[in-house]
Amino acid sequence: MSNKVDFSKENLARSSLWGIGRGISVHSLIYPLEVIKIRQQCSQGETKSTQIALTLLRQEGIGAFYKGLFPQLLKTSIKQVWCWPMITGMPSILQNYQIDTLTQQALTGLSIATIDAAISTPLERAKIISAFRGTNKFCFKNVYSEGWRGFATHWSKLSVNWVTFLTAQKYFRDQSSRMSKQSLSFPELTKIGIEVALIVSLVSAPFDIANTLKQAQNLTPSHLLSRQGIFKLYRGWPLNALSLVIHNIASVTLIDRLGN
């Protein structure tokens, strides 16, 4: 089987367009879960996600579930222009240096995370603050006025997410392909997406809440290691896991499609 990737302009454009379509549609669908998760992660008590959702709906209306969606979609759209071509193309380049497949995926994930954090940290902060405070004002000047505060926590979250996602999905896809010896069906890809999402959500949960607290309240990760804060490490995990399941089913299916 050939592992060469078509680097033509048409293929790169195809990867980007498919990525933008996937990103906008999925993020728009699951964004209310993101708002509820952010509110829950920033809350002081043991408030349940259902209680937060009902309070938001009662006090702020349906629009509260979409506060911060614009910077999220902007961040997503910018990323897809270069992200999916890297996912499909970078492992093929690394293979020329006789690097094993899982290491190829890990290096690709670190590269994507670094570029993403360098570009989008201010937009990530704008999204989280809008969702946390219930505001919907967006201004490029204000967003970038504080520079890249929280870059380290955002980069850590992205690195853990991308490295875990790319290596896990590659491992499971290769295992499934060896057993079936044919193209994977949608149910098989869905199963892989769910398995990968659960792994990523468990590994990345502490990094996710650390990023939320840093961007929303300027709290350092050490806050989570205090005696009073350690229980917060997995606050909002069910919502994060559900979001990642939806994301990963779409992403694993798209990777399989672009790889064929």
For the chain, which residues make up each domain, given as ranges?
9-259
Check whether 188 has a pLDDT greater than 50.
yes
Q: Tell me the per-residue pLDDT of 53-109, one tens digit each, with 9 for 90 and over.
A: 999 999 999 999 999 999 999 998 888 888 888 888 899 899 999 999 999 999 999
Check whether 205 has a pLDDT greater than 90.
yes
Paired tokens of 186: 């949608």
Q: What is the mean pLDDT of the chain?
A: 86
* Assigned architecture for domain 9-259: Alpha/alpha barrel (1.50)
**Please, which pLDDT band fits residue 201 given cuts at 50, 70 and 90?**
very high
Given the structure tokens 């219930």, which residue do they identify?
134
pLDDT of residue 46: 64
Q: How many CB atoms lie within 10 A of CB 175?
A: 11
As a whole number of angstroms, the distance between CA 10 and CA 165 comes to 26
